[in-house]
Amino acid sequence: MRFEIEVELDSKIYGYSIAFELPEGFKELRILGEKLEVDGKPVYAREVAQVHLSREGQVKEANFLIDWHLVALPIIQEKSAKDPLSILKQWLARMLILQPIPSLIDGISEQETLQPNRQLLDLGAWFTGLLVNTPSAYTKIDTYLKQVMPDLEDIQNPETGTDSRSLFVRFSNEQGKMRLPFKDLSDGEKSFVICALVLAANSIYGPLFCFWDEPDSFLSLEEVGHFIMTLRRAFQSGGQFVATSHNSEAIRSFSDENTLVLYRKSRLEPTIVRLLEEFQIDGELIGTLIRGDLDL
Amino acid sequence: MKVNKHKPHVLLLPEDDDNRQLANGFCLSLPESTNIKILPLADGWMEVFDVFESREISGMRAYSERFMVLLIDFDNHLDRIDYAKRKIPHDLENRVFILGSLIEPKDLKRAGLGTLEEIGSSLAKDCREGTDTVWGHDLLRHNATELERLRAYVRPILFV
């Protein structure tokens, strides 16, 4: 198994690759090779247990051994925050891999983070982290949310104990006011808040890679297109947004050159991934998908 | 996000998947997309007008701030615009626009103007900046009259 990632950060191309193998008689995978390059120049390379650190400035090259079950990237110590290792590791750590479960998100936090977990059960901590990191993040969050929830007044995050905070959302219009604990928002409203935080995060500490598993799951049909387009637009100027979807409105918000079709005949066969533009589609895409006529 | 039907908004009705992708690119280049929606495909240029007549006319009459852009392929038949104009009720003609490529959108791609999304984005940029960089292409320049109307009515809605 080989994984490769290439990303442009601060106008430099970072290339990282890692390959695993399962030799005969082994119970666990071992690392066959690993490499990090910046603009084509090696930072380190590794073959099985042997790691070679390239010379950089005054720092001499070095060789050392590492357990062949361990990935070298998190182990090699970076020299400063400007070290390519540090830059790549931070970017990797801040990737947003999202598979939120809105009904379980309560908005309560006991810490702050810029690295929320996949289900976003720590959304409150992420909200706090964003605002502590960059207070102007609130303006970005507020601007988007007021587009999609016109009667939103503000989001509050008061202390509820020595080390805890809890999100509350206030709404108001000519008919009155309402203050709701975050947990009482609908799943769709929580999805809007997640979207607002993603937009703010990419703007503040991006460019980010954001993978969102079925972002349309809790939205009404009339909301999906705008929701996806907003995310796509925001990531045009930096970062990358990838979504999975079975929703026709979400699928229609992408085009042939940026839609991947994933298909697996059975559990025992590998998933086939192909760009939509490689298919000859006779007629309309969604109808073709519904009929199952997209021949892989 | 619900489009506020009582404020100016634009609906795009594409003939086919290629026109939808042009529309995607157009929407991606707008400052925001709260007042524009891409409708399901009509699946044929005549069907665009059938769908418009059967499903959209009542909505346009109900919502006076609704504008409609019909995206068709001319398939080298520029007289389709005459057919189209006959299908638009007199009371709605100021709010309905018919645009399309001379033959089909794939020709724009073959002409090296980019992917369909990129072309759509360039068309939006032209609209925003009042230029004709892409709209002036041989395969699109026949839209000049409609485009002029579109700019007058729709530009203030989409490019605020």
**Residue ranges of the domains in chain A?**
2-78, 96-254
User: Phi-psi region for residue A11, left (φ > 0), alpha (ψ -120 to 50) or beta?
Assistant: left
Closest CA to B70 of B4, B149, B137: B149
Predicted pLDDT of residue A58: 67
In this prediction, residue A294 carries a pLDDT of: 84
Contacts of residue A60, defined as CB under 8 A and 6 or more positions apart, other chains included, come to: none
Lowest mean pLDDT, pick from A16-20, A73-77, A100-104, A250-254: A73-77
Q: Which chain A positions have a beta carbon within 8 Å of B28's beta carbon?
A: 229, 232-233, 236
Best CA proximity match to B33, nearest among B13, B14, B15, B11: B11
Shortest distance between the Cα of A226 and any Cα of chain B, in A, equals 6
Q: Which residues, 6+ apart, have CB-to-CB distance to A222 below 8 Å?
A: B1, B2, B3, B37
Q: Strands, DSSP E only, in B7-160?
A: 9-14, 36-38, 66-73, 96-101
Which of chain B's residues have a Cβ under 8 Å away from the Cβ of A222? 1-3, 37
pLDDT for position A42: 95
A223/B17 Cβ within 8 A: no
For position B3, what pLDDT does the model report? 73
Measured in angstroms, the CA of B99 and the nearest CA of chain A are apart by 20
Residues listed for chain B: 160
Fold of A96-254: Rossmann fold (3.40.50)
pLDDT band at A284 (very low <50, low <70, confident <90, very high): confident
> Residue B129, class by beta-carbon neighbours within 10 Å (0-12 exposed, 13-18 middle, 19+ buried)?
exposed
Could you give the 3-state DSSP secondary structure of residue A163?
A: coil
Pairing assessment for the beta strands A240-244 and A209-213 based on DSSP bridges: parallel
Please list, residue by residue across B56-89, b when 16 or more beta carbons sit within 10 angstroms of its beta carbon and e when fewer do: bbeebeebebbbbbbbbbbeeeeebbeebeebbe
What are the percentages of helix, strand and coil residues in chain A, rounded to 5?
30, 30, 40
Tell me, what's the pLDDT at A56?
Answer: 72
Specify the 3-state DSSP secondary structure of B137. Answer: coil
Question: How much is the ipTM here?
Answer: 0.92
Report pLDDT digits (tens) over A43-63: 999 999 999 998 776 667 889
Go through the domains of chain B in sequence order and give each one's CATH number. 9-158 (3.40.50)
Q: Which pLDDT tens digit goes with each residue over A199-234?
A: 999 999 999 999 999 999 999 999 999 999 999 999
Identity of residue A273: V
- Position B49 scores a pLDDT of 96
- pTM higher than 0.90: yes
In contact, A201 and A114? CB cutoff 8 Å: yes
SS3 of A183-222? HHCCHHHHHHHHHHHHHHHHHHHCCCEEEEECCCCCCCHH
Q: What is the DSSP letter of B41?
A: P
What pLDDT does residue A283 have? 77
Q: Average pLDDT, stretch A173-200?
A: 97
Instruction: Kindly give the confidence (pLDDT) of every residue in chain B, 160 residues in length, as a single tens digit, with 9 standing for 90 and above.
Output: 567 788 899 999 999 999 999 999 999 999 887 789 999 999 999 999 999 999 999 999 999 999 999 999 999 999 999 999 999 999 999 999 999 999 999 999 999 999 999 999 999 999 989 899 999 999 999 999 999 999 898 888 888 6
All residues of chain A having their beta carbon less than 8 Å from the beta carbon of residue B25 are: 255
Q: How far apart are CA A97 and CA A194, in angstroms?
A: 12
In this predicted structure, what is the pLDDT of residue B125?
Answer: 94
Distance CA A25, CA A19 (A): 18
Query: Residue A22: its pLDDT value, please?
Result: 96
Q: What gap in Å lies between CA B31 and CA B34, rounded to an integer?
A: 9
State the pLDDT at residue A5. Answer: 96
**Of the partner residues A147, A236, A257, the one whose CB lies closest to the CB of residue B34:** A147
